[in-house]
Amino acid sequence: MTDDRPPAVRPGGAFGALARDGLTHVELTWIEKKLEHWIRFGRIADDRILTRRTRVVGFRPGAVFAFVRWASNDFGTIVSRIDVVRAVAANEPYTTLPFVRPGGDILLKIEGWPKVQQVLAAIDAVETAAVDPCDAAPDHWRHVHQRITAGHQPRLYTAERHTAWLKRREIEG
């Protein structure tokens, strides 16, 4: 007998039917002014709508993406967080992260709306340098994490820095 139930109600939850395709899956939920999960940047390889408010997106191994989570209740914001994550291959070690299966290489993890806004501004600055944030050096996102965590401004990601990163990646093979 086949299971005709949609993936969201099969055993294993929303990720059960998607686990075997080699992608990193992120569950996105949007309940206006209550719970909002979205991707700020990233090259989505697979996109499946589960319900009116929920979908699951997939990223290929090595892809870098930013995952924003925000939630509130009657008294205000209760969760505000951004993570910049590199999707991992099946044989790579990873760190678990809520709503991300199996997990990923976390390059940046920031909590609290004022700091999240700083990260969003850093992402905008990368785009201003005419670089897709997905292609920026992973070390830049680690740098942004460390500087914001320490209460300092991160250095700008410039076209020159990006060119240096591309040359370093080429040499390292």
What confidence tier does 1 reach under pLDDT thresholds 50, 70, 90? very low
Distance CA 9, CA 52 (A): 14
pLDDT, tens digit (0-9, with 9 covering 90-100), for 117-172: 999 999 999 999 999 999 999 999 999 999 999 999 999 999 999 999 999 999 98
pTM of the model: 0.87
State mean pLDDT over 31-35. Answer: 93
One-letter amino acid identity for 153?
A: Q
pLDDT at 19: 58
Is a pLDDT exceeding 70 seen at residue 74?
yes
CA distance 133 to 136: 5
Q: Which of 89, 85, 78 is nearest to 108 (CA)?
A: 85
Measured CA to CA in angstroms, residue 13 lies from 7, 17, 27 at distances of 7, 8, 11
43-73, pLDDT tens digit by residue?
Answer: 999 999 999 999 999 999 999 999 999 999 9
Residue 3 has pLDDT above 60, yes or no: no
Local structure of 7: helix, strand or coil:
helix
Residue 17 reports pLDDT greater than 70: no
On whether the CB atoms of residues 73 and 62 are closer than 8 A, the answer is no
Calpha distance 157→127 (Å, rounded):
9
Query: In 3D, which of 44, 88, 43, 42 has the Cα closest to residue 62?
Result: 88
Select the more confidently predicted residue: 15 or 132.
Answer: 132
